[in-house]
Amino acid sequence: MFYRLSGIKHTRYASSRALWPVTADRRIMQVLVALALLAPFFLSDLYLTSYMLPWLIWTAAALSLTLLMGMAGQLHFGFAAVLAIGAYTSIHLTRAGVPFEFALLGAGLMSAFIGVIFGAAALRVKGLYLVMATLAMQYLVEWVIINVPAISGGAQATLSTPDVTFLFVPLQSDASLYYMALLWTVVVTLLLLNIKRTSFGRALVAVRDKDFAAAVIGVDPVKYKLLAFFAASFLGGVTGAILAFCYYQAVTPEQFGFNVSIQLVAMVLVGGLGSVIGAYLGAGFVLLLPIVLTNVLAFVASYEWMPISFNLIAHIPLMVYGALIIGVLLYEPLGLAKIYDNLRKYFVVWPFRHTQS
């Protein structure tokens, strides 16, 4: 009823291979894009700068990691270090007078270069052992940033981002920063949706499922593993630069610590491994849910129905959050994306229970 599939027959390859072949899906996407574009006009600056902006940027980061972990099956527990390389490279490049557009490229390339060096470990080790290798990247990069004042920015170890323009638009107002982040997230999203349909994407999936089987059918695992690390690190590096310029506006090493890497992995896993919409949902869950829970609880506590210490109020959201993560993983191990998928399938045939296929 909602999706109105009956009678729709794709008569051209182009229409059946479109990103959203079903009209209703396309309509939903159009509405979402329109809402995102109009957000600065109907959202207050609090929701724009504290919810939408970080959510979009972390989604881009989670999407970059999805390319590596979800599609190519290479675990990466040091992705915050990739973001850090991008952030620091872009700041140092813009400070040296390089235009922001090229600084973004430079950030991506530098991250990709260093990411590939550590990714080379993936040629020899898999699974938990690869986790250890990428952890090494996290700690090495952090150590280098902290211990080289030329990178971290002297005794305060804080670097402010200079004022920049992107394609002649100055990035100062809340709205311009938001649109910059939105642009990048949309680019990454479209890229990932399309990579899934290319020979490159299929080769990654083949390597993920069984790398020697992929070699047997003529997919070079060495090449594709390195390419996966290169592409994901490039996207991660640019995302790190966007994070620094559009959101933090001042970078310190603590912003890219090990806990951030774990958060990114959690976003990908809770959202649903390998799913694009999962990255959006996972980033929202991991990033925004603790904030929302904290505020809800503070609101409830403000009525003073019962005396609770500030310490307990601070810890209750953690318990609820933990329970929710376990709940999601127990109820739907495939992540939030699968829950969305189930809902969609339900409505595709509603009011009936089963579809013919």
Partner 1 sequence: MKPFTRWLASVAGAAALGLGGAAQAEKEPIKFALLQDFTAVYTFVTNEYHQGQRDYLRFVNETGGVEGHMIETIVRDTANEPQRGLEAYNRARREGAVLVDFFSTPVSRAAVNRVLDDEVVMITALHGRGDASEGETFPFIFPMMATYWSQSTVLADYIDQHQGGLEGKRIALVHIDSPFGREPMPILKDLAEKKGFDLRAFAYPSPGTEQSATWSDVRRYRPDHVIIWGAGGGQQVSVREAIRNGIRQENILSVVWLAETDARNVGGNHLKGVKRFEAVGTGTDHAVIQDIMEHVIEPGHGQGSASNVGTTYYNIGVATMAVAVEAARLAMQEFGAPLTGEKLRDGFRMIENFDARGMMPPITITADDHQGGGYGRVSAWNGEAWEPLTDWYSAHQDIVWEEIEKDAAGFREGR
- Interacting residues toward partner 1 by CB under 8 A: 42-47, 49-51, 54, 95, 143, 146-147, 152-160, 162, 247-250, 252-255, 259, 287, 290-291, 294-295, 298, 309-311, 313-315, 317-318
| Closest CB 61 distance from partner 1, rounded Å | 12
| Closest CB 233 distance from partner 1, rounded Å | 22
Of 39 and 114, CB closest to partner 1: 39
| Closest CB 325 distance from partner 1, rounded Å | 15
| Closest CB 173 distance from partner 1, rounded Å | 12
- Half-sphere CA count of 204, side-chain side, radius 13 A: 24
Whether 119 contacts 112, CB under 8 Å: no
DSSP category for residue 12: S
| Closest CB 242 distance from partner 1, rounded Å | 14
Surface-to-core class of residue 46, CB atoms within 10 Å of its CB (0-12 exposed, 13-18 middle, 19+ buried): exposed
Residue whose structure tokens are 């992107």: 166
Of 30 and 173, CB closest to partner 1: 173
| Closest CB 160 distance from partner 1, rounded Å | 4
DSSP category for residue 218: T
| Closest CB 263 distance from partner 1, rounded Å | 9
DSSP category for residue 172: -
Whether 224 contacts 72, CB under 8 Å: yes
Of 193 and 301, CB closest to partner 1: 301
CA torsion 158-162-167-170 (nearest 10°) is 120
Of 227 and 268, CB closest to partner 1: 268
Of 120 and 313, CB closest to partner 1: 313
Q: CA torsion sign, 85 to 87 to 90 to 93?
A: negative
Best CA proximity match to 337, nearest among 285, 262, 263, 264: 285
Whether 270 contacts 325, CB under 8 Å: yes
Of 115 and 253, CB closest to partner 1: 253
| Closest CB 44 distance from partner 1, rounded Å | 6
Of 156 and 342, CB closest to partner 1: 156
Of 48 and 232, CB closest to partner 1: 48
- Half-sphere CA count of 269, side-chain side, radius 13 A: 15
Whether 225 contacts 130, CB under 8 Å: no
Best CA proximity match to 115, nearest among 69, 151, 79, 73: 79
